[in-house]
Amino acid sequence: MMKKTAIAPANIAFIKYWGKRDVRLNLPTNGSISMNLSAFHTITTVAFNQTKSDQIFLNGIPAGKQEALRISAQLDRIRSLAQVSFPARISSKNNFPTGVGIASSASGFAALTLAASRALGLRLSKRKLSILARRGSGSACRSIPDGFVEWIPGTSDENSYARSLYPASHWDLHDLVVLVSRRSKKVGSSEGHSLVLTSPFFEARLREIAGRLRRLKQALGRKDFRIFGEIIEEEALNMHAVMMTSKPALFYLEPVSLAVMHKVVAWREEGLESYFTLDAGPTVHIICQGKDSKKLAQQLKAVSGVMELVDNEAVVGARVIEENLF
Protein backbone atom coordinates (compact mmCIF):
# COMPACT_ATOMS: atom_id res chain seq x y z
CA MET A 1 0.00 0.00 0.00
CA MET A 2 2.45 2.69 -1.14
CA LYS A 3 0.23 5.49 0.08
CA LYS A 4 0.68 8.17 2.73
CA THR A 5 -0.89 11.45 3.74
CA ALA A 6 1.02 14.37 5.27
CA ILE A 7 0.09 17.74 6.65
CA ALA A 8 2.44 20.74 6.60
CA PRO A 9 1.98 24.29 7.86
CA ALA A 10 2.53 27.51 5.98
CA ASN A 11 5.20 29.69 7.59
CA ILE A 12 5.80 33.39 8.04
CA ALA A 13 9.36 34.61 7.65
CA PHE A 14 10.67 37.18 10.13
CA ILE A 15 13.92 37.45 8.17
CA LYS A 16 13.03 36.97 4.53
CA TYR A 17 14.07 34.74 1.66
CA TRP A 18 14.36 37.15 -1.25
CA GLY A 19 16.99 36.32 -3.84
CA LYS A 20 18.57 33.07 -5.02
CA ARG A 21 22.26 32.32 -5.43
CA ASP A 22 21.33 29.22 -7.41
CA VAL A 23 18.03 29.16 -9.23
CA ARG A 24 18.05 25.46 -10.06
CA LEU A 25 18.84 24.29 -6.52
CA ASN A 26 16.89 27.05 -4.75
CA LEU A 27 19.94 28.09 -2.76
CA PRO A 28 19.15 31.45 -1.12
CA THR A 29 21.39 34.50 -1.03
CA ASN A 30 20.86 34.68 2.73
CA GLY A 31 19.57 32.75 5.73
CA SER A 32 16.02 33.27 6.96
CA ILE A 33 13.99 32.70 10.13
CA SER A 34 10.32 31.79 10.29
CA MET A 35 7.48 30.51 12.40
CA ASN A 36 5.09 27.77 11.33
CA LEU A 37 1.48 28.95 11.18
CA SER A 38 -1.20 26.99 13.01
CA ALA A 39 -4.17 28.02 10.87
CA PHE A 40 -2.82 27.58 7.35
CA HIS A 41 -1.83 24.15 6.09
CA THR A 42 -1.74 21.81 3.14
CA ILE A 43 -2.82 18.16 3.38
CA THR A 44 -1.47 15.90 0.66
CA THR A 45 -2.11 12.23 -0.07
CA VAL A 46 0.33 10.43 -2.36
CA ALA A 47 -0.18 6.88 -3.63
CA PHE A 48 2.18 5.12 -6.02
CA ASN A 49 1.37 2.51 -8.68
CA GLN A 50 -2.38 3.16 -8.79
CA THR A 51 -2.33 5.05 -12.10
CA LYS A 52 -0.52 4.82 -15.40
CA SER A 53 1.06 8.24 -15.11
CA ASP A 54 1.29 11.00 -12.50
CA GLN A 55 -2.23 12.17 -11.74
CA ILE A 56 -2.36 15.32 -9.68
CA PHE A 57 -5.34 17.08 -8.13
CA LEU A 58 -4.94 20.43 -6.36
CA ASN A 59 -7.91 21.51 -4.29
CA GLY A 60 -10.07 19.03 -6.17
CA ILE A 61 -9.06 20.20 -9.66
CA PRO A 62 -6.52 18.63 -12.05
CA ALA A 63 -3.23 20.52 -11.77
CA GLY A 64 -2.37 22.95 -14.56
CA LYS A 65 0.50 22.07 -16.88
CA GLN A 66 3.15 24.22 -15.16
CA GLU A 67 2.12 23.05 -11.70
CA ALA A 68 2.04 19.43 -12.78
CA LEU A 69 5.54 19.66 -14.27
CA ARG A 70 6.91 21.20 -11.10
CA ILE A 71 5.27 18.56 -8.90
CA SER A 72 6.36 15.66 -11.11
CA ALA A 73 9.91 17.01 -11.05
CA GLN A 74 9.78 16.90 -7.27
CA LEU A 75 8.36 13.37 -7.35
CA ASP A 76 11.21 12.36 -9.66
CA ARG A 77 13.74 13.46 -7.04
CA ILE A 78 12.03 11.25 -4.46
CA ARG A 79 11.54 8.32 -6.84
CA SER A 80 15.19 8.52 -7.76
CA LEU A 81 16.18 8.32 -4.07
CA ALA A 82 13.99 5.23 -3.68
CA GLN A 83 15.26 3.88 -7.01
CA VAL A 84 11.76 3.34 -8.37
CA SER A 85 9.76 4.83 -11.24
CA PHE A 86 6.18 4.23 -10.12
CA PRO A 87 3.65 6.82 -11.23
CA ALA A 88 1.93 8.73 -8.44
CA ARG A 89 -1.63 9.64 -7.72
CA ILE A 90 -1.80 12.85 -5.70
CA SER A 91 -4.49 14.89 -4.04
CA SER A 92 -3.49 18.07 -2.26
CA LYS A 93 -5.68 20.58 -0.45
CA ASN A 94 -4.94 23.94 1.11
CA ASN A 95 -7.26 25.26 3.79
CA PHE A 96 -6.63 28.80 2.53
CA PRO A 97 -6.89 30.74 -0.75
CA THR A 98 -3.77 30.99 -2.93
CA GLY A 99 -2.09 34.15 -4.20
CA VAL A 100 -2.91 36.42 -1.26
CA GLY A 101 0.45 36.39 0.48
CA ILE A 102 0.30 33.03 2.21
CA ALA A 103 2.94 30.85 0.62
CA SER A 104 0.98 27.83 -0.60
CA SER A 105 4.09 26.41 -2.24
CA ALA A 106 5.83 26.22 1.16
CA SER A 107 3.20 24.05 2.86
CA GLY A 108 2.44 22.29 -0.41
CA PHE A 109 5.95 21.08 -1.23
CA ALA A 110 6.65 20.22 2.42
CA ALA A 111 3.54 18.02 2.62
CA LEU A 112 4.23 16.49 -0.80
CA THR A 113 7.84 15.68 0.04
CA LEU A 114 6.99 14.02 3.34
CA ALA A 115 3.99 12.06 2.00
CA ALA A 116 5.75 10.88 -1.15
CA SER A 117 8.95 9.82 0.57
CA ARG A 118 7.08 7.89 3.26
CA ALA A 119 4.76 6.28 0.72
CA LEU A 120 7.88 4.87 -0.94
CA GLY A 121 9.13 3.56 2.38
CA LEU A 122 11.95 6.10 2.68
CA ARG A 123 12.86 7.07 6.24
CA LEU A 124 14.66 10.35 5.69
CA SER A 125 16.11 12.54 8.41
CA LYS A 126 14.45 15.91 9.00
CA ARG A 127 17.50 17.55 7.46
CA LYS A 128 17.26 15.43 4.33
CA LEU A 129 13.50 16.08 4.10
CA SER A 130 14.11 19.80 4.44
CA ILE A 131 16.73 19.70 1.67
CA LEU A 132 14.35 17.79 -0.60
CA ALA A 133 11.43 20.14 0.12
CA ARG A 134 13.72 23.09 -0.72
CA ARG A 135 14.28 21.69 -4.20
CA GLY A 136 10.52 21.89 -4.79
CA SER A 137 10.12 25.40 -3.42
CA GLY A 138 12.73 27.28 -1.39
CA SER A 139 10.62 28.28 1.58
CA ALA A 140 9.10 24.78 1.80
CA CYS A 141 12.27 23.68 3.62
CA ARG A 142 11.12 25.83 6.56
CA SER A 143 7.78 24.02 6.83
CA ILE A 144 9.45 20.69 7.70
CA PRO A 145 10.92 21.42 11.18
CA ASP A 146 8.91 22.41 14.27
CA GLY A 147 7.93 25.79 15.68
CA PHE A 148 10.53 28.52 15.16
CA VAL A 149 12.80 27.65 12.27
CA GLU A 150 16.07 28.80 10.73
CA TRP A 151 17.05 28.15 7.13
CA ILE A 152 20.82 27.81 6.98
CA PRO A 153 21.61 29.16 3.51
CA GLY A 154 24.54 26.83 2.84
CA THR A 155 26.69 26.69 -0.25
CA SER A 156 25.50 23.46 -1.89
CA ASP A 157 22.51 21.16 -2.14
CA GLU A 158 23.75 19.18 0.88
CA ASN A 159 24.15 22.00 3.36
CA SER A 160 21.21 24.31 2.63
CA TYR A 161 18.38 23.24 4.96
CA ALA A 162 16.13 24.40 7.76
CA ARG A 163 16.22 23.33 11.39
CA SER A 164 14.12 24.07 14.42
CA LEU A 165 15.53 26.77 16.68
CA TYR A 166 12.79 26.37 19.29
CA PRO A 167 9.62 24.30 19.57
CA ALA A 168 6.26 26.01 19.12
CA SER A 169 5.80 26.13 22.90
CA HIS A 170 8.89 28.36 23.31
CA TRP A 171 7.00 31.63 22.95
CA ASP A 172 3.31 32.50 22.75
CA LEU A 173 3.63 34.63 19.61
CA HIS A 174 0.65 35.12 17.35
CA ASP A 175 0.50 36.06 13.70
CA LEU A 176 -2.74 37.85 12.92
CA VAL A 177 -2.94 37.45 9.16
CA VAL A 178 -4.86 40.37 7.70
CA LEU A 179 -6.25 39.67 4.24
CA VAL A 180 -6.93 42.86 2.33
CA SER A 181 -7.36 41.63 -1.23
CA ARG A 182 -8.21 38.42 -3.03
CA ARG A 183 -6.76 39.76 -6.24
CA SER A 184 -3.93 37.51 -7.40
CA LYS A 185 -0.47 39.04 -7.54
CA LYS A 186 0.64 40.46 -10.87
CA VAL A 187 4.21 39.31 -10.34
CA GLY A 188 4.70 35.96 -8.64
CA SER A 189 7.46 35.27 -6.11
CA SER A 190 9.62 33.31 -8.52
CA GLU A 191 9.76 36.18 -10.98
CA GLY A 192 10.29 38.60 -8.08
CA HIS A 193 13.29 36.58 -6.90
CA SER A 194 14.91 36.96 -10.28
CA LEU A 195 14.46 40.74 -10.26
CA VAL A 196 16.27 41.20 -6.97
CA LEU A 197 19.61 41.87 -8.67
CA THR A 198 18.12 44.81 -10.56
CA SER A 199 17.68 46.78 -7.33
CA PRO A 200 20.57 49.15 -6.55
CA PHE A 201 20.00 48.27 -2.89
CA PHE A 202 20.31 44.50 -2.98
CA GLU A 203 24.02 44.37 -2.16
CA ALA A 204 23.57 46.70 0.79
CA ARG A 205 20.69 44.49 1.98
CA LEU A 206 22.94 41.42 1.88
CA ARG A 207 25.72 43.18 3.78
CA GLU A 208 23.31 43.97 6.62
CA ILE A 209 21.41 40.77 6.87
CA ALA A 210 23.87 38.62 8.80
CA GLY A 211 23.74 41.13 11.65
CA ARG A 212 19.97 41.22 11.54
CA LEU A 213 19.76 37.41 11.68
CA ARG A 214 22.03 37.34 14.71
CA ARG A 215 20.09 40.05 16.51
CA LEU A 216 16.77 38.38 15.74
CA LYS A 217 17.98 35.02 17.04
CA GLN A 218 19.09 36.68 20.27
CA ALA A 219 15.73 38.42 20.70
CA LEU A 220 13.90 35.17 19.94
CA GLY A 221 15.99 33.29 22.50
CA ARG A 222 15.43 35.94 25.19
CA LYS A 223 11.79 36.49 24.13
CA ASP A 224 12.46 40.22 23.98
CA PHE A 225 9.34 41.26 22.13
CA ARG A 226 10.20 44.91 21.57
CA ILE A 227 13.59 44.20 20.00
CA PHE A 228 12.14 41.26 18.08
CA GLY A 229 9.35 43.44 16.72
CA GLU A 230 11.62 46.31 15.73
CA ILE A 231 13.84 43.93 13.79
CA ILE A 232 10.99 42.28 11.88
CA GLU A 233 9.55 45.65 10.81
CA GLU A 234 13.00 46.85 9.75
CA GLU A 235 13.43 43.65 7.75
CA ALA A 236 10.01 43.83 6.06
CA LEU A 237 10.55 47.46 5.05
CA ASN A 238 14.05 46.63 3.86
CA MET A 239 12.76 43.87 1.59
CA HIS A 240 9.96 46.03 0.23
CA ALA A 241 12.45 48.85 -0.39
CA VAL A 242 14.46 46.40 -2.51
CA MET A 243 11.28 45.30 -4.30
CA MET A 244 10.12 48.80 -5.11
CA THR A 245 13.53 49.73 -6.50
CA SER A 246 13.72 46.66 -8.74
CA LYS A 247 13.35 47.23 -12.47
CA PRO A 248 10.49 46.99 -13.14
CA ALA A 249 9.42 48.14 -9.68
CA LEU A 250 7.54 45.56 -7.61
CA PHE A 251 4.76 47.17 -5.69
CA TYR A 252 2.91 44.66 -3.59
CA LEU A 253 1.25 46.89 -0.99
CA GLU A 254 -2.37 47.91 -1.31
CA PRO A 255 -3.79 51.07 0.29
CA VAL A 256 -5.46 48.94 2.97
CA SER A 257 -2.13 47.23 3.74
CA LEU A 258 -0.67 50.65 4.43
CA ALA A 259 -3.68 51.68 6.51
CA VAL A 260 -3.21 48.58 8.69
CA MET A 261 0.51 49.30 9.08
CA HIS A 262 -0.20 52.88 10.16
CA LYS A 263 -2.79 51.64 12.68
CA VAL A 264 -0.37 49.15 14.20
CA VAL A 265 2.21 51.89 14.71
CA ALA A 266 -0.40 54.22 16.23
CA TRP A 267 -1.80 51.57 18.59
CA ARG A 268 1.74 50.73 19.67
CA GLU A 269 2.31 54.35 20.63
CA GLU A 270 -0.81 54.03 22.78
CA GLY A 271 0.58 50.93 24.51
CA LEU A 272 -0.99 48.07 22.54
CA GLU A 273 2.15 46.39 21.22
CA SER A 274 2.36 44.61 17.90
CA TYR A 275 4.61 44.74 14.83
CA PHE A 276 3.96 44.16 11.16
CA THR A 277 5.69 42.04 8.61
CA LEU A 278 4.93 41.55 4.92
CA ASP A 279 5.73 38.97 2.31
CA ALA A 280 5.54 39.43 -1.46
CA GLY A 281 1.87 40.41 -1.43
CA PRO A 282 -0.65 42.82 0.07
CA THR A 283 -1.43 40.61 3.09
CA VAL A 284 -0.19 42.11 6.36
CA HIS A 285 1.04 39.87 9.16
CA ILE A 286 0.61 41.40 12.60
CA ILE A 287 2.87 39.76 15.14
CA CYS A 288 1.78 40.08 18.77
CA GLN A 289 1.94 38.30 22.09
CA GLY A 290 -0.86 35.90 23.01
CA LYS A 291 -2.17 38.23 25.71
CA ASP A 292 -2.98 40.92 23.15
CA SER A 293 -4.21 38.81 20.23
CA LYS A 294 -7.95 39.02 20.91
CA LYS A 295 -8.02 42.77 21.39
CA LEU A 296 -5.83 43.37 18.35
CA ALA A 297 -7.90 41.01 16.21
CA GLN A 298 -11.02 42.93 17.15
CA GLN A 299 -9.47 46.30 16.33
CA LEU A 300 -7.95 45.07 13.08
CA LYS A 301 -11.27 43.69 11.87
CA ALA A 302 -12.72 47.17 12.32
CA VAL A 303 -10.20 48.76 9.93
CA SER A 304 -11.99 49.74 6.74
CA GLY A 305 -11.08 47.45 3.86
CA VAL A 306 -9.91 44.51 5.96
CA MET A 307 -11.53 41.43 4.40
CA GLU A 308 -10.61 38.66 6.78
CA LEU A 309 -8.39 38.03 9.76
CA VAL A 310 -6.86 34.71 10.78
CA ASP A 311 -5.21 34.22 14.17
CA ASN A 312 -2.18 31.92 14.09
CA GLU A 313 0.09 30.51 16.75
CA ALA A 314 3.37 28.66 16.26
CA VAL A 315 2.92 25.01 15.44
CA VAL A 316 4.84 21.80 14.69
CA GLY A 317 6.20 21.17 11.20
CA ALA A 318 5.25 18.54 8.61
CA ARG A 319 3.68 15.33 9.98
CA VAL A 320 2.35 12.09 8.55
CA ILE A 321 -1.34 11.72 9.41
CA GLU A 322 -3.92 8.94 9.12
CA GLU A 323 -6.27 10.87 6.84
CA ASN A 324 -6.82 9.94 3.20
CA LEU A 325 -7.85 12.48 0.60
CA PHE A 326 -8.94 9.98 -2.08
Binding site for its own copies (CB under 8 A): 200-201, 203-205, 207-208, 233-234, 237-238, 240-242, 244-245, 247, 249, 251, 253-256, 258-259, 261-262, 265
Buried b (16+ CB within 10 A) or exposed e, 56-85: bbbeeeebeeeebebbbebbeebbeebeee
Q: Which is nearer to its own copies, 148 or 225 (CB)?
A: 225
Pick 54 or 233: Cβ nearer its own copies: 233
- Provide, rounded to whole angstroms, the least separation between the CB of residue 245 and its own copies: 5
> Which residue, 67 or 254, is less far from its own copies as judged by CB?
254
Cβ distance 174 to 139 under 8 Å? no
Handedness of CA 157, 42, 173, 276 (dihedral sign): positive
In the complex, minimum distance from the CB of residue 156 to its own copies, in angstroms, rounded to a whole number: 28
Closest by CA position to 177, among listed 274, 42, 317: 274
The CB-of-203 to its own copies minimum distance in angstroms stands at: 7
DSSP per-residue codes, 27-74? EESS-EEEEEEEEEEEEEEEEESSSSS-EEEETTEEPPHHHHHHHHHH
Nearer to its own copies among residue 36 and residue 238 (C-beta): 238
C-beta of 81 vs 253, nearer to its own copies: 253
Task: Please report how close the Cβ of residue 193 comes to its own copies at its closest, in angstroms.
Answer: 18
- Shorter beta-carbon distance to its own copies: residue 193 or 240: 240
* Minimum CB–partner distance for residue 148 and its own copies (Å): 25
Dist. CA 57–CA 64, nearest whole Å: 9
Which residues lie below 8 Å from residue 34, measured CB to CB, with a gap of 6+? 11, 12, 13, 14, 139, 142, 148, 149, 151, 162
* 79 vs 216: CA distance, rounded Å: 38
| Dihedral of alpha carbons 138, 111, 127, 69, sign | negative
Closest distance to its own copies from the beta carbon of 181 (Å): 11
